[in-house]
Structures are given as C-alpha cells and as structure tokens.
Amino acid sequence: MTIKRKLIILLNLFLFASLAGCQIFAGATAEPTQLPTATNVPPSPTPTEPPLAAKVNGEYILLTEFQSELQRLQAAEKELGVQSTEAEQRQKVLDELIGQMLLAQAAAQAGFTVDDTALQAHIEKMATQLGSAQELEKWIAENGYDAASFRVALRRAMMAAWQRDQIANSVPTEMEQIRARQILLLDEALANKVYQQLQAGADFATLAQQYDPLLGGDLGWFPRGYLTQPVVEEAAFQLQPGEYTPVIKSAIGFHIVQVLERTVRPLEQDARKMLQHQAVQDWVNKRRENSTIEIRIGGG
C-alpha cells in the first residue's frame, strides 16, 4: 500500500464523524465514560475524577483523549502543509470533541444504539481498508488506543455520525433559488458611477461583461445561505427578476446585483452539501448553548 493511499484512508478516518472535518474519535459517547465502581465496593462519597479536558452534560472527555486527538490533528496538518498555531489546534480539537459528544448524546436520546455486531462489522471494514487486521492493530497502537478504548471511541463516532446524518438529511433537496449576476468593484466611487449609468438606462449585462470579461458577473443559481457574503445574498432575495440592487458594501468589495430568475428548483450537489454542513454546525451551536459544559483545559 502506498503512502498516499494510507494518507487518504487516515483522512477518511478523521472525516468519518462529520460532513467536513471532525476527527473520527472526537469525544462523543453513547455510553457513560465515567469510570465504573468496582463490584461490591461502596462508592466513595467524594469520588476522584480522572484528568479531564471537559465535561459535557455530566459525561467525560478525558484529557488523554484530548491529547491523543491533538497529536493526530497536528500530524495530519503537518503532512498536508496546513499552518495553524497550537492554540488554534487545541481549540479546534476541543470544539470537535464537544460537538461529537453532543451529537452522540442526542443519538442515544433518540433511541439509536450501535450493537456489538454492527461495531465488529465496522472494525472489519476498517481492517479491510487498511489491508489487514494487523495494519489496523498497528494504527490503533500508534494512535494511543488499546483494543477496549478503540471500541468505545468507535462506537461513539458511529453514534455521532448517525445523528449528524439525521440533521443533514433534513435539508430539502429543492429550495427557492435565485439566478443572478453582479458587477463587483473594489472602488466605491467607481461602483457609484456604474450604478448611475444603470439608472440612466445602461444595459446591466454589457457593464457586467466589461468588468468581468470571463464570466460576465454570473453568480449562477443559489439558495439562501449559500453565498459567502450574506449581505449580498439578503439584498438579492429582496428582488424580483429584472430588478437590481443599489451598491452593496461587503468584505470583498462593492456589488451591484441583478436578479435574472427566481423559482423553486433542485439544489446542486455542492450547494446541498454546504447547507447540510451548516445545518449540522448550527445544530451543534444551539445544542451547546443549552448544555452544561465544563472546560477543564485552556481554551473553549
């Protein structure tokens, strides 16, 4: 197996738990992660917690898990040439761990479970992807797991992935969309001059082609929540076909947008994926606001 192939598989493992970027074993659990009380031994009135990175609705994210996840992220970013500070890496890992915990908890509350048969089938599939059971065992050891902790972590990831899919699949396959074009300029005075030309009767398409010879300012079809500049999108959705906006200031320049068509139509694949990712992120953010979360390390 080539190094490139192994990297692809490793990244697939990292991406297993979310639409775009959660690590495979990011902390969420369908089972209590508190250490069990020994049989026939009365519980201590003040039980000692293991070292923690965080507690999410009473469930543990172990410090060792956070540290292992951080090491995996750092190794992956180094391999891919991604540059970020350690503080950014720590925050990203902590957010991913908390997010997956919340997803897995919701899956459990919805009655979803991963039984031992399903868990074993997934482990065997991973072994096949890596080439053999021995290769999987090697990956497990290299990433700070033993057989038991690996199974716990994988079950958590599968629980979170199920809940993620419920949220993602709730995004409709068709939505109201707009087809539009724009004139985008970096100079506000020039943008105002172009707007005055339009007001005087100049043809929008001609001016758009003048300032964007390659695409003619074509924005294609897009639903709400898709454009990178929300202020532009919001203004466009206030219009009917044939109408255009005044000059709109955004983070990237000065826009004049003309709506060409407006109708309910199927979402393009990339648009639906982006909206699904945003739906999952919005769900996690809302769930986090309504959860009891204790951060035990720096960040968060």
CA 219, 222, 224, 228 torsion-angle sign: negative
Q: What is the rounded radius of gyration, in angstroms, for the C-alpha atoms of the chain?
A: 25
Which string of b and e fits 169-192 if b means at least 16 CB within 10 Å? Answer: eebeeebebbbbbbbbbeeeeebe
Give all strands (DSSP E) within the chain, no chain letters: 52-56, 59-62, 174-185, 218-223, 248-250, 253-266, 293-295
Look up the pTM and report it: 0.77
Q: State residue 45's pLDDT score.
A: 53
Q: What are the 10-residue block averages of pLDDT along the chain, 300 residues in total?
A: 46 40 36 34 62 93 88 87 91 94 96 94 92 90 82 90 96 97 97 98 97 96 95 97 97 98 96 95 96 83
Q: State residue 43's pLDDT score.
A: 52
CA distance 205 to 256: 12
Q: Which of 112, 245, 117 is nearest to 191 (CA)?
A: 245
The region, left, alpha or beta by phi > 0 then psi within -120 to 50, assigned to residue 76 is alpha
Structural tokens at position 131:
């080439």
CA distance 151 to 162: 17
Q: State residue 152's pLDDT score.
A: 83
Which residue segments constitute the domains of the chain, with CATH numbers given?
3-37+44-170+278-295 (1.10.4030.10), 175-266 (3.10.50.40)
